[in-house]
Amino acid sequence: MTESFLDTPLARVMGERTAKALTKAFGFDTVAGLLGHFPRRYAERGELTALDALPLDEAVTIVAEVVRINNRPLTGRKGSLLEVVITDGTGTLSLTFFNQAWRANTLRPGKRGIFAGKVGEYRGQRQLTHPDYELFDDDESVSDEVAEQWAKTPIPIYPATSTVASWQIARAVGVVLDILPELDDPVPAEIRTARTLLSYSDALRRIHRPAEHSEWREARDTLRFHEAFLVQTALRRDRLRAAEAASVPRTPGALRAAFDASLPYSLTADQATVGSEIDTDMARAHPMSRLVQGEVGSGKTLVAIRAMLTAIEDGGQAALIAPTEVLATQHARSIAASLASLDEDLGVTLVVGSLPAAERKRANLAVASGAARIVIGTHALLSDSVTFNDLALVVIDEQHRFGVEQRDTLKRKGTSPHLLVLTATPIPRTVAMTVFGNLDISTIRTLPAGRAPIQSHVVALAEHPAWIARVWTRLAEEIDAGRQGFVVCSAIDATTVDNDADLVEDEAVTVPRASVEEILPVVRAALPTRRVEAVHGRLPADEKDATMRAFAAGEIDVLVATTVIEVGVDVPNASTMIVLDADRFGVSQLHQLRGRVGRGGVPGIALFVTHSDPFSLARERVDAVASTTDGFELAHKDLELRREGDVLGERQSGGRAGLVLLRVTVDGEVIEDARTAADAVLANDPNLAAHPALLEALDRRLSRREREFLAKS
């Protein structure tokens, strides 16, 4: 098939040396990889200009003839300088090339051509350094119209490296385009026609070799839809395959009814809606795959408990995995307390790495026998020593803290168990569709009644260094009022950064980090009559747990901590959250930290302390979080501030390829349209047997590891 041309090794098309350089610089080694390396922007050569009217520091284009040429070694360092003098009859201009003596083979006196570049000056002489040019054949004459068209033709500028320049990439792409056959199109003809898209071959030609700006824009629109269509088809096909797996239907019974009756409050409207969606999913004969996103403190854990009770009604087991021992321990304690009013012992069991050997053995036996019907744990649950009797439901708390492999490992401990994924980091709709297109998505927006408002302030030490004293005074005022507070640092000591923190180092920061070790005595000095303690990831598990228990019981007034307290920690009396070096944290983590206060009837206050420049991106992140407590609004802002980056990359999704042309912040309509088109194709041809070009494109677009990710997530 002609489509296989895209799988041709680059070495076969352009030679071993060039192919190796491209592979080393960019990681691709086939024609498809090179043609998928799209220009990042397009430049123009400039208006046609006479040599006697050259404007300094502007891009110009000249039709001229080579007069003389000189290649000489550089003074005082290695290398050479090639100087070429050209004329158009009105004046002369110097062209300079460093370490490119080979150009003398073609830039010979008497040769005519078109030259383009930015006008500079050296010792009073106008010059172009490393200009773009195109020489004419000896018997060729050029009209003004031809020269003008050449001057206006867009110049693709490619993402380059120190070893492979943009012009070298353009030359390699040109070699491929010269022999590019008509390719089988992965987008079915009826979809292309309905959306007036270019053919695949035309789109590739125009994005790499446009005659005018409208051509690359049209090509980009076509290829952007291609990208969205391939991602959505892969996700939706995986979704259909998951629906074919057999699972035991589970319906709410006496346990759930008794639990609901014991609640001292009513479910919020959103909790009831999401609970109903989960009930519908679990009653089906294939596994549920649902993501529940909700604000900090919106009651996602309550929704998960109700799903667990449904799963264990007929002897099944439910497992909840949390990212930290602090959170897992708190979950186990709070879930056991929530279920204490039920007549039945549900064997709530904690499995974490720090358990003593004998206790760990007892826990594992309870899980294996089925006596432990609700199992709460950390990564310790993934151990081969943990086996389940009948795992019916897997709950992933804080999904962004677990990789796909880890989720899959836990799911494989049961037979097609239902999957419930929880996140307190709200996800914009287009991101959710693109990253989690194979999960159903439920949203809890409303907060339970009684949640107090939180006031957020940026403490800008770059402009007001004296404000730090007011931070400790404000904390003392809250403690004197009978409340509690957190002080969060990004480091444990001067040399140890908090590994759990979503730290951002996108700008040069000269101010040393505030560490737990350094700040603990500062806070104790500010509150000499109060109990101030520290907690961080390097402490023994029993010491961490004892400190958290004491803080929850009101025996500790202030906790100086790293981000081990980021999620799940519920202390209603805590009113103050102070985040030092706030500019070093990401938007979602700042929002999570703020959510640790204001959880009772006491109003909360969050102080984001930063040394960042007021006009920096780091400061913009902090200002954004301080401006609103709406996590969904912040999710959009976060995406914009991060410039998306590798939205589908290793960190976000566990191995899927990053987006190239698609931008989820602005291309929501394209993504939705692509999903509709993918669903229509799969509805009539779920195995894509009638769409071989689409199958090939999916295999090419998604590496083996990426396909495994899609199959598991």
DSSP string, 308-347: HHHHHTTS-EEEEE-SSHHHHHHHHHHHHHHTTTSSS---
Q: In the prediction, which pLDDT does 645 show?
A: 43
Residues 383 and 475 reside in one and the same domain: no
Dist CA 56 CA 45 (whole Å) = 15
Q: In the prediction, which pLDDT does 401 show?
A: 65
Residues 433 and 458 reside in one and the same domain: no
Whether 417 contacts 625, CB under 8 Å:
no
Residues 487 and 608 reside in one and the same domain: yes
Q: In the prediction, which pLDDT does 655 show?
A: 33
Q: In the prediction, which pLDDT does 705 show?
A: 45
Residues 322 and 420 reside in one and the same domain: yes
Phi, psi of 608 (to 5 degrees): -100, 105
Report yes or no on 246 lying in a domain.
no
Residues 271 and 357 reside in one and the same domain: yes
Report yes or no on 667 lying in a domain.
no
Instruction: Look up residue 615 and give its two tokens.
Output: 């006009």
Dist CA 33 CA 16 (whole Å) = 16
Residues 259 and 388 reside in one and the same domain: yes
In sequence order, the 6+-apart residues with CB closer than 8 A to the CB of 666 are none
Q: 3-class SS at 192?
A: helix
Residues 575 and 510 reside in one and the same domain: yes
What's the one-letter identity of residue 618?
A: A
Instruction: Look up residue 70 and give its two tokens.
Output: 């000189």
Q: For the packed helices 213-243 and 668-684, what is the interaxial angle rounded to 10 degrees? A: 50
Q: In the prediction, which pLDDT does 46 show?
A: 57
Q: In the prediction, which pLDDT does 617 show?
A: 85
Residues 440 and 566 reside in one and the same domain: no
Dist CA 6 CA 216 (whole Å) = 20
Dist CA 557 CA 565 (whole Å) = 15
Give the residues across from 558 on adjacent strands: 485, 532
DSSP letter string, 45-63:
--SB--GGGPPTTSEEEEE
Distances (CA, A) of 586 to 47, 185, 504, 589: 45, 41, 6, 5
Residues 291 and 327 reside in one and the same domain: yes
Dist CA 183 CA 636 (whole Å) = 38
Core vs surface per residue 46-66: b (16+ CB within 10 A) or e: bebbebeebeeeebbbbbbeb
A 10 A CB-CB count for 628 gives 13
Greatest distance between any 2 Cα atoms in the chain: 101
Report yes or no on 319 lying in a domain.
yes
Domain end (from 120, 152, 184): 152
Q: In the prediction, which pLDDT does 41 show?
A: 82
Q: Which residues of the chain have pLDDT under 50?
A: 1-3, 508, 643-657, 704-705, 707-713
A 10 A CB-CB count for 71 gives 15
Whether 295 contacts 424, CB under 8 Å:
yes
Report yes or no on 321 lying in a domain.
yes
Domain end (from 399, 419, 444): 444
Report yes or no on 280 lying in a domain.
yes
DSSP letter string, 73-100:
EPSSSSSEEEEEEEE-SS-EEEEEEES-
Report yes or no on 14 lying in a domain.
no
What residues make up the domain containing 469? 454-628
Residues 397 and 525 reside in one and the same domain: no
Domain with residue 464: its CATH number is 3.40.50.300
Residue 342: closest CA among 390, 378, 374: 374
Instruction: Look up residue 366 and give its two tokens.
Output: 């309870």
Core vs surface per residue 365-393: b (16+ CB within 10 A) or e: ebbeebebbbbbbbbbbbeeebebbbbbb
Give the residues across from 156 on adjacent strands: 42
519 sits in which H/E element: helix 516-526
- Report the residue count for the chain: 713
Distances (CA, A) of 664 to 75, 235, 626, 706: 51, 16, 24, 19
How many separate domains does the chain show? 3
Report yes or no on 2 lying in a domain.
no
Express each pLDDT in 131-158 by its tens digit: 888 787 765 555 666 666 766 788 788 8
Q: In the prediction, which pLDDT does 653 show?
A: 35
Residues 384 and 464 reside in one and the same domain: no
Express each pLDDT in 369-411 by its tens digit: 999 999 999 999 999 999 999 999 999 987 656 666 777 889 8
What's the one-letter identity of residue 241?
A: R
Residue 585 burial (10 A CB sphere; 0-12, 13-18, 19+) = buried
Residues 399 and 299 reside in one and the same domain: yes
Domain with residue 142: its CATH number is 2.40.50.140
Task: Output the 3-class SS for 598-657.
Answer: CCCCCCEEEEEEECCCCCCHHHHHHHHHHHCCCHHHHHHHHHHHCCCCCCCCHHHHCCCC
Phi, psi of 393 (to 5 degrees): -145, 130
Domain end (from 392, 416, 444): 444
Q: In what order do the strands lie in the sheet with 317-321?
A: 349-351, 374-377, 317-321, 391-397, 418-423, 289-294, 440-444
Report yes or no on 491 lying in a domain.
yes
Residue where the block lists tokens 């074919």:
244
Let me know the angle formed at the C-alpha of 288 by 282 and 290, rounded to the nearest 5 degrees: 115
Q: In the prediction, which pLDDT does 708 show?
A: 45
Dist CA 660 CA 159 (whole Å) = 12
Where would I find the H helices in 313-463? 325-338, 357-369, 404-411, 429-435
